[in-house]
Amino acid sequence: MQKTVEPNNRLSPAIVELLIRERSKGKSLRHLGRMFGKSHEKIRQLLAKYGPPQVGLLSENKVAAKLGYPARWPTKLRKQGIIKPIKPGSFWLYSEEQVRQIPALITEARKCKQCGRPRPAGSVRFCRECNQYRRKHKYESLSPEAKAKHVKRCLAWLKANPERAKEIRFRAYRKYRAKQGRGAVIAADDRR
Ligand SMILES: [Zn+2]
């Protein structure tokens, strides 16, 4: 049998060698598919099976481990199309150049939405300090629209509950004076 493609769809070693050589020159899977009369998917499978081990390429997990990130960070970059590794077999593989780019990309993608400093793992939008500040200063952290809505609601409530509003204002006043270290003056005022 001198056919290059055998009935069970295996290629002769010479053809495999040619395929690998052409691929290493940078030919696309589609181009190779046309050259060898196969689908690009078939070419990809053949290269994964017979091609040289991908030297210098790292899997996603290894990239994350090497850089000290949670594995999902590079995954997210890839899914967002920010970094484009290759997938010759069943794993995504990153070149050394891509691995070098990843820390800067991660820093950019993981900026705190408020202060721009890097977010630690587990924080979704803001860094730890900003989260604490936002929890403590809820009003300050609202969007302008949300602030306007809040003010409107408060004014309506104050109008509907004048007695309670008066109590609250008085309590706030006392608290304010106490904070100023004039508690004694207040007490004196109260006695009058
Ligand atoms: Zn922050």
Residue 51 has pLDDT above 70, yes or no: yes
Distance 118 CA to ligand 1 centre (A): 8
Residue 15 has pLDDT above 80, yes or no: yes
Distance 123 CA to ligand 1 centre (A): 10
Q: Please give the tally of structural domains in the chain.
A: 3
Whether 102 and 164 share a structural domain? no
Whether 146 and 93 share a structural domain? no
Whether 65 and 39 share a structural domain? no
Distance 36 CA to ligand 1 centre (A): 55
Task: State which residues form the domain around 181.
Answer: 142-189
pTM above threshold 0.75: no
Whether 128 and 146 share a structural domain? no
Whether 82 and 128 share a structural domain? yes
Distance 134 CA to ligand 1 centre (A): 10
Question: pLDDT tens for residues 171-185?
Answer: 999 999 888 875 555
Per DSSP, the residues of 130-171 read HHHHHHH-TTTTS-HHHHHHHHHHHHHHHHH-HHHHHHHHHH
Whether 88 and 123 share a structural domain? yes
Distance 115 CA to ligand 1 centre (A): 4
Whether 106 and 147 share a structural domain? no
Distance 147 CA to ligand 1 centre (A): 20
Question: pLDDT tens for residues 54-88?
Answer: 667 889 999 999 999 998 999 999 999 999 998 87
Q: 69: closest CA among 114, 112, 99, 113? A: 99
Residue 1 lies in a domain: no
pLDDT for position 1 = 44
Residue 2 lies in a domain: no
Whether 36 and 18 share a structural domain? yes
End residue of a domain, out of 92, 112, 132: 132
pLDDT for position 3 = 45
Residue 42 lies in a domain: yes
Distance CA 149, CA 151 (A): 6
Question: pLDDT tens for residues 19-47?
Answer: 888 877 777 888 889 988 889 888 888 88
pLDDT tier at 48, thresholds 50, 70, 90: confident
Distance 19 CA to ligand 1 centre (A): 52
Residue 4 lies in a domain: no
Overall average pLDDT of the 96-103 stretch? 92
Residue 137 lies in a domain: no
Return the SS3 of 58: strand
Distance 48 CA to ligand 1 centre (A): 44
Residue 3 lies in a domain: no
Residue 106 has pLDDT above 60, yes or no: yes
